Amino acid sequence: MTERNRSSARRTKAETQLCQERAYTLKAYGGMSFDAIARTPDPTGKSATLYANASAARAAYLAQAARVRGTEGEPAPTVAERRALTDDRYERIIQALMPKALQGNHEAADRVLRAMAQQAELYGLKTRAASPAIEDSKGGDPADELAERRRRAQEQAAAALRGSASAAPPPPPGS
């Protein structure tokens, strides 16, 4: 393709925005994959398909999503900012539904518990607590340490059984 043909096939800013709006609508409301969005017909007629590939369709979707949210041109929020925003949303849900939950509304109680669980997961509070003795180990593999503990416990149980068998009183006469 020559430079002249390539430049004539370029979309204007308005056409680009139209295509981005189309990609956003198809993804947000149609649930289409980015690959399927890329293959849809171009509404401007400048190309056979809306985008060359799924990656371009995704970029268009994200650009329109930023315009819809009013964050176009702003830097992407950091993980800490997203976490704080999400935590605030969960907290609002909890505060709004807690009075109903405390009055016995089971549906509200369920939603409060779900929001609290998601909030705990957001901050990594849903992990299983490790055994304090294992955490204090000297850098060894916890699985090896657990296996060694089991082996010692089995040895102690076997020794206790042997000791109790030798110390058992003789059976009563006539048995």
What is d(CA 169, CA 113) in angstroms, rounded to the nearest whole number?
Answer: 58
Residues 6+ apart with CB under 8 A from 11: 19, 44, 46
Whether 47 contacts 71, CB under 8 Å = no
Specify the number of domains making up the chain: 2
Residues 64 and 31 in one domain: yes
Question: How far is the CA of 6 from the CAs of 49, 60, 94, in angstroms?
Answer: 15, 20, 54
Measure the CA–CA gap between 141 and 89, rounded to whole angstroms: 40
Q: Are residues 18 and 64 in the same domain?
A: yes
Any domain includes 168? no
Strand partners, 43: none
Q: Which of 61-65, 89-93, 116-120, 164-168 has the lowest mean pLDDT?
A: 164-168
Tell me, yes or no, whether 60 and 26 share the same domain.
Answer: yes
How many residues in the chain?
Answer: 175
pLDDT at residue 137 tops 80: no
Q: What's the CA gap between 69 and 129, in Å, rounded?
A: 39
- Domain membership flag for residue 45: yes
User: 96 and 58 share a domain?
Assistant: no
Whether residues 17 and 55 share a domain: the answer is yes
* 65 and 97 both lie in a single domain: no
Whether 63 and 19 share a structural domain: yes
Q: What tokens does 18 get?
A: 């139209």
CA distance linking residue 144 with residue 171, whole number of Å? 43
Same structural domain, 54 and 90: no
Domain assignment of residue 95, yes or no: yes
42 within domain boundaries = yes
Q: Is residue 162 domain-resident?
A: no
Residue 106 pLDDT > 80: yes
Task: Give mean pLDDT, residues 32-54.
Answer: 91
| Rounded-to-integer distance, Cα 94 and Cα 130, Å | 29
Q: What is the DSSP letter of 104?
A: T
Give the domain extent around 35: 13-69
Q: Is residue 17 in some structural domain?
A: yes
User: How distant, in Å, are the alpha carbons of 22, 54, 87, 112, 130 from that of 118?
Assistant: 33, 31, 9, 10, 21
Tokens representing 43 are 């509404």
Q: Do 89 and 62 have their domain in common? A: no
37 CB neighbour count, 10 Å cutoff? 25
Q: Are residues 91 and 53 in the same domain?
A: no
pLDDT of residue 135: 52
- Cα gap 109→116, rounded to integer Å: 10
pLDDT of residue 80: 83
Mean pLDDT of the region 34-43: 92
Model confidence band, residue 60 (pLDDT cutoffs 50, 70, 90): very high
